[in-house]
Copies of this chain bind each other. A is one copy, B any other.
Amino acid sequence: MKEFIIIGHKAVTTPFSLNDLPGAAGRMDILCRCVNSALFLSHDLRRGVRVYLVLKGGAQSKIVRFDGAAVRYLSPDERSAASLIKKALEKQAQGFWTESTPGVSIKIGDFSDLLGELNKKITYLREDGVDIRIKPLEVVSDFLFVLGDHMGLTDDEEKIIEAHDHEIVSVGPLSLHADHCIVLLHNEMDRQDAFNTSNK
C-alpha cells in the first residue's frame, strides 16, 4: 500500500462552491490536484494507493480519504475530486470513517490521530530532505508519504512527525508543488517496481 497524507491548512471543513476552489474553499484546488496525481494513470487508476486530505480550515479538523481500490465517480479534473470532497463534507462526520461515496470516506480527526492510526514509518517531503536519487527510497511494500500544501508544514506538525519513525526526502533541486512531488515519487516507485519484477 502506498499512502499519501496532504495537509490543507486553509481547506474548509464544510461544503463549498465548486466554482472557487482556491479562494472560498481554502486552496482546495491543491488537494484536488494531489488526489489526481496520487491516483491516476493514463486510462487507469492506481488501485494500491490511498490519499488522506487533512482539512484544517475549520473549527474542527477533518480527514477525507480516497481509496484507489474502491473509488468511483472520480475523473482527473479538479472539479471532480472537489465534488467528491464536498459530498464527504455533507456527511455528519464522526470519530470513525464514514463512507460518503464509493471509495471516499470522512472522519473527524487531526494529523496526529491519523499518524497514530496508520502507525508506520513516515517519508516526509521537504525541500532540504535527502534526494531520492542520492539515497533511493527503501524498497518496501508499504509507504506513507507526508506533504504540505502551499504553506508547508508548521513546526508543531513537524514535531508530530519527529515523534514517529521517519525519514525526510526531496525529489530534486527545485521547490515544487505537492502534486508535482507525488508524480515524481510515483515515478521512482514505478521504476523500482518494474526493476524488481524484471529481476524475479
Contacts and interface: CB of A to CB of B under 8 A. Distances in A.
Interface in A47-80: 75-80
B173 A194 contact: yes
Contacts of A43: 150, 175
Contact of A191 (B41, B172, B177): B172
Contacts of A77: 21-22, 29, 78
A190 interface: yes
Q: Count the copies.
A: 2
Interface of A: 18-19, 21-22, 29-30, 33, 36-37, 40-44, 75-80, 133, 150, 171-177, 180, 183-184, 187, 190-191, 193-194
Given A187-B172, A190-B172, A42 B177 contact: yes
Chain B CB within 10 A, most for which of A29, A41, A77: A77
17 contacts: A18-B19, A19-B19, A21-B77, A21-B79, A22-B80, A29-B79, A30-B76, A33-B76, A40-B177, A40-B180, A41-B175, A41-B177, A42-B150, A172-B187, A172-B191, A174-B190, A184-B187
